[in-house]
């Protein structure tokens, strides 16, 4: 199975103008408590229904989706990296990386996306910054601008709370579309756990932060986020009629419940209509 590199373009034949799924009108979204959310057709980019899609909010570890994209664009994930003290953190989720151990950068990347490991993000950014000799957060903001994420700003690679680290649902949508065109992101959707061994022999392991995977085979993980200040965020893919719909909730008190409420609305209005 291809891990690195581009997969088949998701947006499909550019000559096809009509979206696979069209915008749903008059849908009652009152059961969804998140401050902001979008359900959108991944193939066409069409928003099916939404609430406050342009509201700037703290996004917690959804930030790591951009961290991964910048690392992918600016480095070689097949190389090794020796962990240093700057990469070590006890703030969970964490792999418990040990300074002096050498690991594959692809392992760091996968652990960061599946388990949202903070030390993985720090190490991956450190590795990339060392290669390109440019501040990694600067690269993040440049990449966000290039993607058209004009209502976003990033101040750290992890998603820690900061008045200067924020985005919107519509901006995260642009990032999701860009990353889901790459197999290294796309192929992780059903991975519930990941482990690898450093050159020291130490075993590192993590489990998915998307709690829906084990119970819902039609759901794939993209990324989650949570801090006490930001609340919960979650981006997931849902398969409907062999098509992919992305469910994105930001600033939710129960991101799983809101995701499932959106799933039920989608199944009701898309499948039955």
Q: Where are the alpha helices (DSSP H) in the chain?
A: 63-74, 105-115, 118-132, 136-146, 169-179, 183-186, 255-266
Beta bridge pairs of residue 103: 81
- Strand, coil or helix: what is 221? strand
Of 232, 231, 233, 238, nearest to 262 by C-alpha is 238
pLDDT tens digits along 39-60: 999 999 999 999 999 999 999 9
Phi, psi of 204 (to 5 degrees): -115, 140
Please measure the distance between the N-terminal and C-terminal CA atoms of the chain and give it in whole angstroms. Answer: 36
Torsion-angle region of residue 266: left (phi > 0), alpha (psi -120 to 50) or beta?
alpha
| CB contact at 8 A, 199 and 102 | yes
| CB contact at 8 A, 33 and 219 | no
Q: What is the pLDDT along the chain (273 residues), one digit of tens a residue?
A: 344 544 443 444 444 444 578 888 889 999 999 999 999 999 999 999 999 999 999 999 999 999 999 999 999 999 999 999 999 998 999 999 999 999 999 999 999 999 999 999 999 999 999 999 999 999 999 999 999 999 999 999 999 999 999 999 999 999 999 999 999 999 999 999 999 999 999 999 999 999 999 999 999 999 999 999 999 999 999 999 889 999 999 999 999 999 999 999 999 998 654
DSSP state of 6: B
């Amino acid at each position: 199975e291809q891990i690195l590199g581009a997969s088949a373009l998701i947006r499909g034949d550019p000559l096809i103008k009509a979206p696979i799924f069209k915008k749903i009108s008059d849908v009652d979204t009152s059961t969804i408590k998140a401050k902001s959310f979008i359900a959108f057709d991944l193939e066409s980019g069409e928003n099916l229904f939404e609430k406050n899609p342009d509201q700037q909010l703290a996004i917690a570890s959804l930030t790591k989706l951009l961290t991964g994209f910048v690392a992918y664009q600016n480095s070689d994930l097949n190389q090794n990296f020796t962990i240093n003290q700057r990469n070590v953190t006890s703030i969970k989720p964490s792999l418990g990386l040990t300074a002096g151990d050498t690991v594959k950068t692809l392992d760091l990347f996968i652990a960061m996306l599946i388990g949202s490991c903070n030390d993985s993000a720090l190490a991956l950014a450190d590795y990339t910054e060392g290669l390109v000799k440019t501040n990694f957060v600067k690269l993040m903001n440049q990449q966000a601008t290039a993607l058209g994420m004009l209502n976003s700003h990033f101040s750290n690679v992890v998603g820690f709370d900061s008045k200067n680290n924020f985005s919107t649902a519509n901006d995260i949508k642009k990032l999701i579309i860009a990353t889901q065109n790459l197999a290294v992101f796309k192929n992780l959707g059903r991975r519930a756990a990941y482990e690898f061994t450093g050159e020291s022999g130490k075993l590192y392991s993590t489990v998915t932060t998307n709690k829906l995977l084990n119970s819902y085979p039609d759901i794939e993980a993209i990324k989650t986020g949570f801090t006490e200040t930001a609340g919960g965020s979650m981006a997931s893919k849902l398969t409907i009629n062999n098509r992919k719909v992305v469910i994105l909730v930001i600033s939710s008190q129960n991101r799983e419940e809101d995701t499932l409420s959106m799933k039920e609305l989608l199944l009701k209005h898309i499948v039955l209509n």
